[in-house]
Amino acid sequence: MFTTSNTALKKIFVDGFYRIHAGMLVFLFVILISYCLFINTLGTVRPDQIDFWQFFFTVSLVSNPLILTFYLLGSSLYAYKSLKYVLNQLALPQQQFLYYSFSSSAKKQQFLAWCAVQTYIFIPVLCYTLYATAIGLVFGFYVISIGILLFQVLLIVASAYICLRENNRLMQANQPGWLIRISKKWSKPVFLLFSFQVFNHSKLAYLLTKLLSWVLMSSVFLDFADLEDNSRLLMLITSCIVVAHVVLMYQEKIFNDRYLSFLPNFPFTKGRVFFSFCLNYVVLLLPEVCWMLSRFGVLPAIGLIAFAFSAILLFRSLLLLNAIQIKGFLIRVFCLFFLFYVLIMFGLGLMLIPLNIVAAWILFRRNYLNNNILC
């Protein structure tokens, strides 16, 4: 019976996932293979260096914290996308037979089955991760190489655990979460409602974001322990942490459009609305804020925190542009991130704080009342 259940899970979730996302996966696979194996170098390269330059991207992945961050972020987004697909399928009426049949097995067997499902879905990412791990071990980057692999395994195990919980509580989907039950008598400020939404319904996105931030901070300081007090490095890390939270920013925009569309009818000034939504990020970024204060002292941490919130204000204001979707939002975010990188490397990082706030305020003031509901 267990083997039959595994086959059913594979056909329902794995085959369906690859059927829907086949185009995207083939495109990424072709791009990676073309770049990593057939790249040509400019100029004269000695024969003993050709193999190194052909594997330059993979070597950079296990040696460059910035490229590592983007890869971990991409892996986390892939895990989020695959898990969202599985959970959406589980919620369909035709899949509720799993609650009565598959959930009758032991929890250990169910967990192993869901691990197998997530592993099948993660095959494209795991293949490249194993390839990058092998290259990293050959070139002597042992810690980061093993860390990347362990990060992928952790994503698989976490996704399998969430699927296990969801499959065993399908009949209780309408019951309020623990946060709602605890805080039902609290007075909730309207500008903090998204934080309650995150901790009640978007815990996966939040945990993946925190995990990515932790991996980023640990890996960078492991490689650049002698540059711990370098202000440019710290501001670059801070900008990476902010970029890691762009998924939550997009979800906040959707939440505001769907549930708080009445706010313009309230007697709130634009200035109050502009700054008050940062209360959500004070709560959501509390682990990073505490880490900065304890690690670098009050004055340096205040500068990093001010830079982080100025960037958040700017990224959030980008979402007010007419009909902007997730693809356009990410393109603009990464363009700004590279602009931040250039200015920080030239020692102009502190200038970004007032520039970000002014640019964010101009975008917000001009587009706050636009009817650009996100779908």
Lowest mean pLDDT among 42-51, 275-284, 342-351: 42-51
pTM across the whole model:
0.55
Identify the pLDDT of residue 311: 93
Q: Looking at the predicted structure, is the pLDDT value of residue 100 above 70?
A: no
Residue 254 exposed, middle or buried by CB count within 10 Å (0-12, 13-18, 19+): middle
The whole-angstrom separation of Cα 172 and Cα 170 is 5
Of 245, 239, 96, residue with least CA distance to 173: 96
- Proportion of the chain above pLDDT 90, given as a percent: 7
The whole-angstrom separation of Cα 25 and Cα 14 is 13
The whole-angstrom separation of Cα 360 and Cα 233 is 24
pLDDT digits (tens, 9 = 90+) for 310-353: 999 999 888 888 666 777 888 888 889 889 988 888 888 889 99
- Per the model's pLDDT, the better-predicted residue between 298 and 185 turns out to be 298
Phi then psi for residue 43, to 5 deg, are 85, -170
Identify the pLDDT of residue 70: 78
- Per the model's pLDDT, the better-predicted residue between 19 and 103 turns out to be 19
SS3 state of residue 232 = helix
Identify the pLDDT of residue 24: 63
Residue 77 exposed, middle or buried by CB count within 10 Å (0-12, 13-18, 19+): middle
Phi then psi for residue 321, to 5 deg, are -65, 150
- Proportion of the chain above pLDDT 70, given as a percent: 73
Return the amino acid letter for 129: T
Long-range interactions of 51-60: CB distance < 8 A, separation 24+: 55/135, 58/131, 58/132, 58/135, 58/136, 59/135, 59/136, 59/139
Residue 372: pLDDT band (50, 70, 90) is very low
How remote is the C-alpha of 354 from its chain's centroid? 27
Identify the pLDDT of residue 306: 92
Q: Return the structure tokens found at 237.
A: 């890390």
Residue 38: pLDDT band (50, 70, 90) is very low
Q: Return the structure tokens found at 213.
A: 């931030």
Identify the pLDDT of residue 39: 46
pLDDT digits (tens, 9 = 90+) for 171-213: 444 455 555 566 566 666 777 888 888 877 777 778 878 887 7
Q: Looking at the predicted structure, is the pLDDT value of residue 358 above 90?
A: yes
Identify the pLDDT of residue 41: 46
Phi then psi for residue 93, to 5 deg, are -60, -35
Identify the pLDDT of residue 50: 45
What is the sign, positive or negative, of the torsion defined by CA atoms of 77, 79, 82, 88? Answer: negative
Q: Return the structure tokens found at 61.
A: 């992945």
- Per the model's pLDDT, the better-predicted residue between 51 and 125 turns out to be 125
Identify the pLDDT of residue 104: 67
pLDDT digits (tens, 9 = 90+) for 78-98: 888 888 888 888 877 777 677
Identify the pLDDT of residue 375: 35
Return the amino acid letter for 224: F
The whole-angstrom separation of Cα 338 and Cα 315 is 14
Top-confidence range, 33-47, 222-236, 238-252: 238-252
Residue 359: pLDDT band (50, 70, 90) is very high
Q: Looking at the predicted structure, is the pLDDT value of residue 45 above 60?
A: no
**Residue indicated by tokens 């990464």:** 334
Average pLDDT rounded to a whole number, residues 353-364: 92
Q: How would you classify residue 43: left for phi > 0, otherwise alpha for psi between -120 and 50, otherwise beta? A: left
> 3-state SS string over 77-88?
HHHHHHHHHHHH
